[in-house]
Structure formats: C-alpha cells, structure tokens
Amino acid sequence: MNLKKQLYEGLLTKNPVTVQLLGMCSTMAITTSLFNGLGMGAAVTIILTCSNILISALRKFIPNEIRIAAYVTIIAGFVTIVDLAIQAFLPELSTSLGVFIPLIVVNCIILGRAEAFASKNTVLASTLDGIFQGIGYTVALTIVCVIRELLGSGTFGGGLLNGGEGIRVIPQQYPAMLLVMPVGGFLVLGCVIAGSQWLMKHLEMKNKKKEAAK
C-alpha cells in the first residue's frame, strides 16, 4: 500500500521536477537529448538512493545542530564517487553532462529529500523514496528532453540511437533552434508542468466519481 502511494507521489503528486520544482538548474541545462536526460536521471537516482539510505541509517547518530553539514558531506561524497566513475567508464556522458554532475551536490532534490524524508523515516522507506523520487525526476527530465530534442533539433534519441546522431524526424532546416536554448527549456517545462497538473486533476475527478458511484 505504502509502496504504491510512494511511487504515485514520486511520479506525479510530489514529482521533484513538476511539483516540487527542485533541481531546475540541471533540468534547464542538460535536457537537449535523450541520452543526457537518461544519464542525468540515472546519476541523480543512484546518488539520491545512496544518500537517503545512509542518512536515514545515521539519523539517530547525527546531532540535529550539524545535520546540514553532515548531509552535504555525505551527498558530496556520493556525487564525487559517481562523477569519477562516469569519467572513468562513460567518457561520452561526462563530456555532454560536463559540470552538471558535480553540481548535483547542490541539487535541492537530494538535500530536500534528506531533510524532508530520510532524516525522519526508516531505511527501507527512505530507499524506496530515493528510488521513486529518482524515477520521477528521470521521467520528467526525459519528457522535457524528448520534446526539446524533437522540436529543437528534429531528432529522437540523440547520443544513443543511430550511432549517436539520433533518428532524424524533422528535416534539418525546419527545427526551432529556440527550443534548444535556455528559453526553450522554460517554455517546455511550463507545458510539461501544465500537462501533469491536468493529469492530476483528471485522475482526482475520476476517483471522486468512483467514490460517488459507491
């Protein structure tokens, strides 16, 4: 029951990107190809889950007064490990995500979940929270990526399919460059947030009707 609720919250009602509006910096900056979105999503999910596990395991050991310093140290540790691993084993991803991997340290999603969830809940619940919030972030990021890439560069699956070129959907001269620029990031994110709000309202209405019918 709790599992389903946490998944639903991570994906929709408490989605880190579209509802909590956390991690905007990375959302704006790297969502220009499918490869970037999935890579960043995976990196954040791994770091978020690891730091959630460790922080909730240590929640009785860390004194309240220094908790932020302790959390940031733990998060920075995991981020650096992931950063080094990506540089060593996935150099292409490291080239395209550049400085945004080290910047996960100050990504509010991780510190936000540590403070709001992991520091108050059991290790198991925090693990699930990390995974589901991470999936929610990845899904939102991927949707923004696909839209921006399709309309901005005219391709699908850039950096991943068709030898890294991506599958061309719109001929080269037509795509709107604007969408690849930061402005386009804001525009697309706004539309995605509106879409998720509509979906939430829609599902809520459906539930109410169901209850009324009972």
Question: Is 1 among the residues that bind other proteins (CB under 8 A)?
Answer: no
In the structure encoding, which two tokens stand for residue 119, read together? 């520091």
* CB 187, min distance to other proteins, A: 15
CB nearer to other proteins: pick between 29 and 161: 29
CB nearer to other proteins: pick between 13 and 94: 94
Rounded (to 5) percent helix, strand, coil in the chain: 75, 0, 20
The count of chain residues that interact with other proteins, using the rule CB under 8 A, is: 28
The one among 63, 171, 174, 213 contacting other proteins by CB under 8 A: 63
Instruction: Using the rule CB under 8 A, give the single segment among 6-14, 77-85, 122-130, 154-162 that binds other proteins.
Output: 77-85
Side chain identity, residue 99: V
Side chain identity, residue 16: P
In the structure encoding, which two tokens stand for residue 10, read together? 């991570």
Cα–Cα distance for residue pair 172/154, rounded to 1 Å: 7
* CB 180, min distance to other proteins, A: 5
Scanning residues 78 to 97, which ones bind other proteins (CB under 8 A)? 80-81, 84-85, 87-89, 91, 95
* CB 17, min distance to other proteins, A: 20
CB nearer to other proteins: pick between 61 and 174: 61
The one among 2, 4, 177, 212 contacting other proteins by CB under 8 A: 177
> SS3 of 168, please?
strand
**How far is CA 176 from each of CA 27, 150, 169, rounded to the nearest angstrom?**
19, 9, 13
* CB 52, min distance to other proteins, A: 16
Phi/psi at 14 (5° precision): -125, 35
Across 30-46, b (16+ Cβ under 10 Å) vs e yields bbbbbbbbbbbbbbbbb
Q: Crossing angle, helix 123-148 and helix 182-213, to 10 degrees?
A: 120
The footprint of other proteins (CB under 8 A) covers: 29, 32, 58, 61-63, 65-66, 69-70, 73-74, 76-77, 80-81, 84-85, 87-89, 91, 95, 98-99, 177, 180-181
